[in-house]
Amino acid sequence: MRSHLLTVVVTVLLFTSCATLSRNGVGRVKYYTIESERLPKEFNGFTFAFLSDTHYPSKFTRKRLARLVRKLRESQPQMILLGGDYVTSDEYANELFDSISSVKTPHGIYAVLGNHEYSRTSLIKECMEQYGIYLLDDKHVNIISGASYIAIAGVRNPFKVDENYLYKTNSVSDSLFTILLSHTPDYAEDTDVQADMVLSGHTHGGQVSLFGLYTPVTNSRYGPRFNRGMNYTDASVPVITTTGVGTSRRKVRFCVPSEIVFVRLLSL
């Protein structure tokens, strides 16, 4: 009897630790702090949201989208960054970008493409332009605060390193604190990126993990190294890889909750 009870308790605890709640439209909200001497004092405390791999609707339903939008509004980020892989079918693009763009931020919304957009680039670009989302298609923009500014850069296709090797082609000054958006985290290690931090998705955190001890599928040539969370390249560049919002291929998550990310910048 005691053995049976213990088994039930352990099972419940494990299930609870791996369950995906949806009060915010996602399983969890993760917060990171990046400290840097290169960050201008005017940006001390600057906070932004990052979300990727919505694959809308997949497991990310209309109800969850509404909850996520509400969470973003409540959190009042100063800008929103999007990491690619947005919809499962073209018919959902307008609904997704309309909802996300309804969250008004002082410094706008910026995005890159994911591998699922390469066959529907024109449609995605049109939708983003329609809803005021700026696509960083091998481009960068300067975010201004007071007399200072930082750069947000984006790689169009980080899977073809030979074609866009070194995002320096974006002409970002080395003196600028730079945030780089790359759909896959592998790009940060594959190339000599001159960025202060990299934001990525693509891996989904594997979607399925054996209680955090083993992830069968990583979607990265580096295995679990950049699978999720904040990790560092050999050049000590911090890479934040989100587990994403939606699901791809199979509508399942186990011990890998969906998430949105908030990053706070601190000037040293």
Q: Specify the pTM.
A: 0.89
In this structure, are residues 242 and 230 in contact, taking their beta carbons and an 8 Å threshold? no
Q: How many CB atoms lie within 10 A of CB 154?
A: 29
For 88-124, the pLDDT digits (tens) are 999 999 999 999 999 999 999 999 999 999 877 888 9
Band of pLDDT at residue 163, cut at 50, 70 and 90: low
Q: Is 236 helix (H, G, I), strand (E, B) or coil?
A: coil
Tokens 């989100």: give the residue. 242
pLDDT at residue 17, as a whole number: 42
β pairing state of 229-232 and 238-241: antiparallel
For 118-159, the pLDDT digits (tens) are 877 888 999 999 999 999 988 899 999 999 999 999 998 888
Tokens 């990171």: give the residue. 32
Ordered domains of the chain (ranges, CATH) = 22-267 (3.60.21.10)
Residue 151 to residue 179: CA distance in whole angstroms: 6
For 43-87, the pLDDT digits (tens) are 999 999 999 999 999 889 999 999 999 999 999 999 999 999 999
Supply angle C-alpha 164, 94, 187, rounded to 5: 20
Q: Which amino acid is at 38?
A: R
